[in-house]
Structure 1
Amino acid sequence: MNRSKRKKVIIIGAGISGLSAACYAAKAGHEVHILEKNGSPGGRARQFKTEEGFTFDMGPSWYWMPDIIENFFQDFGFRSADFYTLDPLNPQFEFISKDKRVSIPKDAKEIRALFESEEPGAGKKYDDFMRAAKFKYEVGMQQFIDKPCHSILEFTKPSLLSSALKLHLFRNFRSYVGSYFKSPLLRSIMEFPVIFLGASPAKIPAMYSLMNYGGYELGTWYPQGGFFELIKAMVKIAEDLGVKIHYHAAVKDLKLIADQSKNVRIASFKIQNETHTADEIIASCDYQHMESLLPEKFRNYSSSYWEKKTFAPSSLIVYLGIKGKIPSMKHHTLFFDAGLDEHLDEIYKEKSWPKNPLFYVCCPSKTDPHVAPSGAENLFLLMPLATGLEDTEEAREKYLDIMLSRIQKHFECPEIKERILYKRSYCVADFKKDYHAYGGNAYGLANTLSQTAILKPSIRNKKIKNLHYTGQLTVPGPGVPPSLISGKIVANEI
C-alpha cells in the first residue's frame, strides 16, 4: 500500500464484525486499533470458565454456513483447521413437538426418508425445496450479501435482476413452506431456521429458505473447545497483522470538527480520560448506542426511527452445570412442544413474558469432553423474549423452573433441579449493560422485507465523513456469517 494512504483506523467493539473489519483493514495496510469496553473479545460470542470446571460459550452455538466462515480464513491464507477441529453433528439436532420427538440426521438421504415417513410425497418435496434453497443460497451469498447497500442501483445489473425474480422476495416464508408441506411437524421443522432472523415466519421473505440449505444441507458443526475457538482464531489473525486490541476501553466525549470544505469529522474521543485521534472510525458496537454519543443533528436516525423498527428478540439464557449425565439428550434440542404463534405474538405484539414458552437447549458436553468435568453435563438454555421487558430475578427463576420441568419430562434426568452444580442467568438487563443493546435485544434487527438490504441502517454516517457502522444492526444482518461479511464490507469502504 502507498504509505501516504495509510490510515489510523479505530474500531469500537471486538465482536465478530469488529474483529473481521480489523483483519481486513490491517491486511490493506492500515494501522488498526480495537477498543473493547469488556475484558475479553467476542462480543456476544464471549466465553467464560467456572471454578467447578465448566466452560460456557455465552452466545452463538449453531455453526452453520461453514463455507462462509471458511471464506474468511481463506482471505488470510488459512483454513479453519489451522486453528480448531470442526466436527459434524449427527444428528444435527433433536426437535420436540407436542406429540413427537424427532432427530434430524446429518445425511440428506436420511432427512428425505424422515420426511417421507411423516407425509407421503414429502421426500421429493424436500428435494425440490432444497434445490430452490440452494439457488437462493448461491445467489444470495455470491451476488447480494456483500453489497454495501448505499443505493438500489447496486442491484440493477441484468444478471442480478433476473436472479431476484427467483428469490421470492415478496412472498412470506410461512406460505412458501406451506406450499411444499402439509404436516404441522414438517412445517415447524422447516420454519425453525428463520427464527434466527428474528421475526415470525409469516413476516420473513421466502428468500431466506437459503437458511435451510446453509443449515440442513451444509450440515451443523461444532468446533472442539467451543464457539469461542472462532474468536480466538480471529484475534490471532488480527494480532499477527498488527492489530492492537485494548480492553476495558469504553469510548466517550467525541469531539467533532469541520474542515475547510465543511466536511464534519470526529477529531478526537476519550478513553479513561485520555484523548485519542483517528482517521477513520468503525462502530462495531450497538448502532443506536453509537449514535447516542453524537449530537442529535449528526445522527443518521432519530429516536423515533429506532422505536418503529422491528427488533429481533432478546433472550433469557441460563448456563447450567449439572451433576451426572443426561443419557438421551443430544447436542442441540429444540422444545417446540408449545404453540409457536402464541409465543411469537407475546414477543412481537403483546411484548410480554410468555405463558407457555418455546426454548432451546445446547449440551456441548455430548460432543466435547473439555467443557464439563468428568461425569457432568454442560447445559445452555435459551428462551426468546420480547425486547424491553422488565427483567427481574424472580422472572428468571420462574422460567428456569418451567424449562427444567419440561427437560425432566422428556429426558432421563430425575431430580435435575437438585443436581445443579453451577448456575448463571443472562437476560435483557445484561444485554443492555454489556453491549448497550437497544431494548436489550440479542440478535439485532429482524430480517423483514422492510428491513432488508438498502432498507437497513446505513453503514456510513451521512453527516460525519469518517464514521462507519458494522454488525447486526446494519447490512447484511444478524448472525455469525453475516457479521463476518459485514466487517469485510465496511473495511472495503475505507
Structure 2
Amino acid sequence: MEKIRQKKAIVIGAGAGGIATAARLAKSGFQVTVLEKNSFTGGRCSLIHHEGYRFDQGPSLLLLPKLFREAFYDLDTSLEAEGVELLQCPSNYNVWFSDGESFELSTDLSRMKTQIERWEGKDGFERYLAWLREAHQHYELSVSDVLHKNFTKWWDLANPGFIRTGLKLHPLHSIWSRASKYFWTERLRRVFTFATMYMGMSPFDAPATYSLLQYTELAEGIWYPRGGFHVVLQALVDVGKRLGVEYRLSTPVKQVLTSPDGKTANGVLLESGERLEADVVVVNADLVYAYSNLFPQTPSMESYSRSLRERDGSCSSISFYWSLNRKVPELKTHNIFLAEEYRESFDAIFDRQSLPKEPSFYINVPSRMDEAAAPNGCDAVIALVPTGHLLQSKGFMKSDAGIPRDQDWPTLVNQARRTVLSTISARTGCESLGNLITNEIINDPFTWESKFNLDKGSILGLSHSFFNVLKFRPSTKARGLDNAYFVGASTHPGTGVPIVLAGAKITTEQILEDFGMPVTWQTHPSQLKDQGVPQTKSTSQLDKVHAPVSGTILYMISLSIWLVFFMYFWRPTGF
C-alpha cells in the first residue's frame, strides 16, 4: 500500500499569528516549518534586555484572557500546564490630566463608583452601568459573531442574522459619540475613549464596537505574564515544537514561489538562495509589505499591492525603553497622560500624520508587577508616544499623508523625549526621570519598518476604519494565488495579540477546509478555564436555570384571564 505523503506547510514570520497557526497546522497533520527573519520569535511581542533590565518591545498588557486560553485549550494544553503565570494588575490605569487631577480605572466597582460620582454625580454611576451593558453586548457579539467567523463572501455581510448583530455593534457611530451619550463631562469622555490607541486609531474615528476593549479591562482585568509578554508566545512555540514544528531563525524570505502558471503557491525562495517546497504557504509577515515584496508582481497583483499601500494605516510610535537607577513610586504599572488639547493630539496623528505638539502617551513600568524586570531597587520604564506613520512605503512612491523620510528625526525624537519627561514630572510631582536614566533604547517608525517589515512603520497594521474591517479587510486567503494564506494584524479579524490568535484559528480552519481535512478541535466556552478555575456544571437543583417570563407575556396572560372572566360574568342590564 502506498504511503500517504504528509502535507508540508511553510509559515513566513514567527509573530503571534504565525506561531499559533504553525502549532494548529502541526496538530492537524501538516509538516510545518516556520521561517523568521530575526534571531528571535514573537515579532513585536519580543523582549529587549539590557544589563538586568527587561522591556516588552510591543504589547505590555494582556487583555481578553479567554482567547489566550482558547488557543492553548485547542492544542490540548493550558497556560498553567505550560508554566505561564498571569498576574492581575491591582488597578488598570492611572489617567493623568493637565490640570493636576487623575482618574484610576479599576475592576473594583466601588472605587469606580466613588470616582465617577465625584465628577458626574449620582446619575453618573447609573449611566456608567448603562455604558458597561452596551460595551458588554459589543464584547459578546464581537467574540461570537466576528472573532470566530471568517467573511469570505459578500453574502456574509448581507446575511439578515449578521445585519441584526451588526446594528447592535453600532459600527456607524464613533467611540467618542457613544461615550458622549453616557458620560457628560469632557473628563470622563476622555477616560473612556483613549483605549482606541490600542488599534492605532482616533476615538473620533474608531467604530463604537471597540468599546469592547475597555469593557474587557473593566470586567476581566488587565493581566501581565510573569517574565514578560513573550513567555506566552514562547509557550506556544514549545507546544508547536512538541507537535513537530521546525523553527528556522535568521532566515529571511525573498519571494513566494508559484506554479508555472503563476496561480498556485508552492514554496518560497530564501534570501540565501535556498528553495523550499510546500503545499501551503502562510504569511505572517506584514500583509501590505508581503503583497508588495514577496508575491510575484503580475499586473493584477501590482495593482492590488498599490491599492493596499494607499489604504489608511494605523499610527506609528516613538518608543523609549529607559533603565532607571532607582524606583519612581509616583508611577503605577500603567499610566496614561492625556493631552490638554485632546482632539488636536489625535488629529495631528491621524489626519496630518505627524507628531502632536502636545501628545497623549502611555507609560508602562513592568518592574511594578514583576520585580525581575529591573535590578533590585531600580525601575524599567517604557514610554510609547503615538505618532504618524511614514509618508511612503519603503522603495515606492510617496502617498498623500505621512511624516517625510527626510524629516530631522533626531530633533523629532528629542522633542518627544522632552515633552514626556517634563509632563511626567509636572503631573505626578516626581523627580525628573531624565536624572535617573542610565540607558536609553529607542524604536522610531524607521525601526519598526526595518526590524519587522511594517509598511510605513505602522505598528498595528492597517486601520480599523469602517471600510477596513470584515469583508472589506484583506482576506485571509491571498488574492489571485491558491494555497497562500494570511494571518496577522492586517487581515481578518484584525490587530491586537488576542485578536490575532483568534485569527490563527480562522485561517487554519480555512486551510483545513480547502484541503478537505478535519478540524481537530471543537472549543466550547464552557470547556475553557476562566483565570485558571475550571467551569464545572453542577447537578444541584439550586443551580438549574429558570428563565423568567417576560413582563409583556405576564401582562398578556393576565389580560386574557381578565377578559374571559369579564365576558362570562358580565350581563348588560335591561335584558
The answer to whether the aligner puts 1:183 opposite 2:182 as a matched pair is no
Shifted more, 296-305 versus 203-212: the winner is 296-305
CA–CA distance in structure 2, aligned partners of residues 403 and 10 of structure 1? 43
Q: Which residue of 1 aligns with 2:117?
A: 116
Cα gap change, 1:323/1:246 in structure 2, threshold over 3 Å: closer, same or farther?
A: same
TM-score (norm 1): 0.95
The answer to whether the aligner puts 1:105 opposite 2:122 as a matched pair is no
CA–CA distance in structure 2, aligned partners of residues 195 and 131 of structure 1? 22
User: Which letter does structure 1 place at the counterpart of 2:53?
Assistant: F
User: Which letter does structure 1 place at the counterpart of 2:504?
Assistant: G
Q: Which residue of 2 aligns with 1:38?
A: 38
CA–CA distance in structure 1, aligned partners of residues 3 and 427 of structure 2? 63
Q: Which residue of 2 aligns with 1:460?
A: 477
Contact kept? 2:199, 2:464, Cα under 8 Å: yes
Cα gap change, 1:38/1:7 in structure 2, threshold over 3 Å: closer, same or farther?
A: same
User: Secondary structure of 1:213's match?
Assistant: helix
Give 1:362 deviation, angstroms: 0.0
User: Which letter does structure 2 place at the counterpart of 1:124?
Assistant: E
User: Which letter does structure 2 place at the counterpart of 1:453?
Assistant: L
Shifted more, 419-428 versus 406-415: the winner is 406-415
- Aligned to 1:471, which of 483, 488, 503? 488
Q: Which has the larger radius of gyration?
A: 2
Give 1:465 deviation, angstroms: 0.9
Q: Which residue of 2 aligns with 1:84?
A: 84
Provide the identity percentage: 27
User: Which letter does structure 1 place at the counterpart of 2:70?
Assistant: N
Cα gap change, 1:210/1:189 in structure 2, threshold over 3 Å: closer, same or farther?
A: same
Give 1:267 deviation, angstroms: 4.7
Structure 1: gaps of 5 or more residues: none
CA–CA distance in structure 2, aligned partners of residues 97 and 73 of structure 1? 40
- Aligned to 2:162, which of 156, 160, 173? 160
Structure 2: gaps of 5 or more residues: 391-402, 512-575
Q: Which residue of 2 aligns with 1:193?
A: 195
Q: Which residue of 1 aligns with 2:430?
A: 413
User: Which letter does structure 2 place at the counterpart of 1:141?
Assistant: V
Q: Which residue of 2 aligns with 1:294?
A: 295
CA–CA distance in structure 1, aligned partners of residues 312 and 255 of structure 2? 30
Q: Which residue of 2 aligns with 1:133?
A: 135
The answer to whether the aligner puts 1:396 opposite 2:413 as a matched pair is yes
CA–CA distance in structure 1, aligned partners of residues 144 and 114 of structure 2? 31
Q: Which residue of 2 aligns with 1:71?
A: 70
Contact kept? 1:266, 1:464, Cα under 8 Å: no
Contact kept? 2:107, 2:220, Cα under 8 Å: no
Give 1:412 deviation, angstroms: 4.7
Q: Which residue of 2 aligns with 1:56?
A: 55
User: Which letter does structure 1 place at the counterpart of 2:218?
Assistant: Y
Give 1:156 deviation, angstroms: 4.9
- Aligned to 1:385, which of 362, 387, 397? 387
User: Which letter does structure 1 place at the counterpart of 2:33?
Assistant: H
User: Secondary structure of 1:378's match?
Assistant: strand
CA–CA distance in structure 2, aligned partners of residues 228 and 393 of structure 1? 30
Cα gap change, 1:264/1:106 in structure 2, threshold over 3 Å: closer, same or farther?
A: closer
Shifted more, 102-111 versus 467-476: the winner is 102-111
Q: Which residue of 1 aligns with 2:153?
A: 151
Tell me which of the two structures has the higher relative contact order, counting C-alpha pairs closer than 8 angstroms and 6 or more residues apart: 1
User: Secondary structure of 2:441's match?
Assistant: strand
Give 1:197 deviation, angstroms: 1.9
Shifted more, 186-195 versus 407-416: the winner is 407-416
User: Which letter does structure 2 place at the counterpart of 1:78?
Assistant: T
- Aligned to 1:231, which of 227, 230, 233? 233
CA–CA distance in structure 2, aligned partners of residues 175 and 445 of structure 1? 23
User: Which letter does structure 1 place at the counterpart of 2:326?
Assistant: G
- Aligned to 2:317, which of 304, 315, 318? 315
Contact kept? 1:258, 1:265, Cα under 8 Å: no
CA–CA distance in structure 1, aligned partners of residues 242 and 84 of structure 2? 17
CA–CA distance in structure 2, aligned partners of residues 412 and 179 of structure 1? 34
The answer to whether the aligner puts 1:451 opposite 2:453 as a matched pair is no
Q: Which residue of 1 aligns with 2:27?
A: 27
User: Secondary structure of 2:319's match?
Assistant: strand
User: Which letter does structure 2 place at the counterpart of 1:402?
Assistant: T
| Aligned Cα root-mean-square deviation (Å) | 1.9
User: Secondary structure of 2:173's match?
Assistant: coil
Aligned length: 490
Q: Which residue of 1 aligns with 2:439?
A: 422
CA–CA distance in structure 1, aligned partners of residues 3 and 336 of structure 2? 53
CA–CA distance in structure 1, aligned partners of residues 342 and 113 of structure 2? 24
Contact kept? 2:146, 2:493, Cα under 8 Å: no
CA–CA distance in structure 2, aligned partners of residues 337 and 465 of structure 1? 48
Residues 476-491 of structure 1: pairs in structure 2 closer than 5 A: 476-491=493-508
CA–CA distance in structure 1, aligned partners of residues 124 and 382 of structure 2? 33
CA–CA distance in structure 2, aligned partners of residues 268 and 188 of structure 1? 47
CA–CA distance in structure 2, aligned partners of residues 212 and 352 of structure 1? 26
Cα gap change, 1:112/1:301 in structure 2, threshold over 3 Å: closer, same or farther?
A: farther
- Aligned to 2:363, which of 361, 364, 377? 361
Cα gap change, 1:268/1:309 in structure 2, threshold over 3 Å: closer, same or farther?
A: closer
User: Which letter does structure 1 place at the counterpart of 2:113?
Assistant: R
Shifted more, 83-92 versus 408-417: the winner is 408-417
Cα gap change, 1:253/1:195 in structure 2, threshold over 3 Å: closer, same or farther?
A: closer
Give 1:484 deviation, angstroms: 0.5
Deviations 1:119-145 (A, max 9, x none): 021111111111121122111101222
Give 1:169 deviation, angstroms: 1.7
Contact kept? 2:135, 2:212, Cα under 8 Å: yes
Q: Which residue of 2 aligns with 1:431?
A: 448
Give 1:110 deviation, angstroms: 2.3
Give 1:379 deviation, angstroms: 0.1
User: Secondary structure of 1:119's match?
Assistant: helix
Give 1:253 deviation, angstroms: 4.2
Contact kept? 2:321, 2:381, Cα under 8 Å: yes
Give 1:268 deviation, angstroms: 4.3
Give 1:263 deviation, angstroms: 4.1
User: Which letter does structure 1 place at the counterpart of 2:242?
Assistant: D
Contact kept? 1:289, 1:436, Cα under 8 Å: yes
User: Which letter does structure 1 place at the counterpart of 2:472?
Assistant: L
- Aligned to 2:336, which of 313, 334, 342? 334
User: Which letter does structure 2 place at the counterpart of 1:56?
Assistant: F
User: Which letter does structure 2 place at the counterpart of 1:197?
Assistant: M
CA–CA distance in structure 2, aligned partners of residues 213 and 104 of structure 1? 11
CA–CA distance in structure 2, aligned partners of residues 182 and 360 of structure 1? 25
CA–CA distance in structure 1, aligned partners of residues 160 and 411 of structure 2? 57
CA–CA distance in structure 2, aligned partners of residues 212 and 9 of structure 1? 37
Contact kept? 2:98, 2:427, Cα under 8 Å: no
Deviations 1:136-158 (A, max 9, x none): 21111012222222113234555
Shifted more, 29-38 versus 397-406: the winner is 397-406
Deviations 1:205-239 (A, max 9, x none): 21222122122211111111111111211111111
Cα gap change, 1:254/1:219 in structure 2, threshold over 3 Å: closer, same or farther?
A: closer
Cα gap change, 1:204/1:301 in structure 2, threshold over 3 Å: closer, same or farther?
A: farther
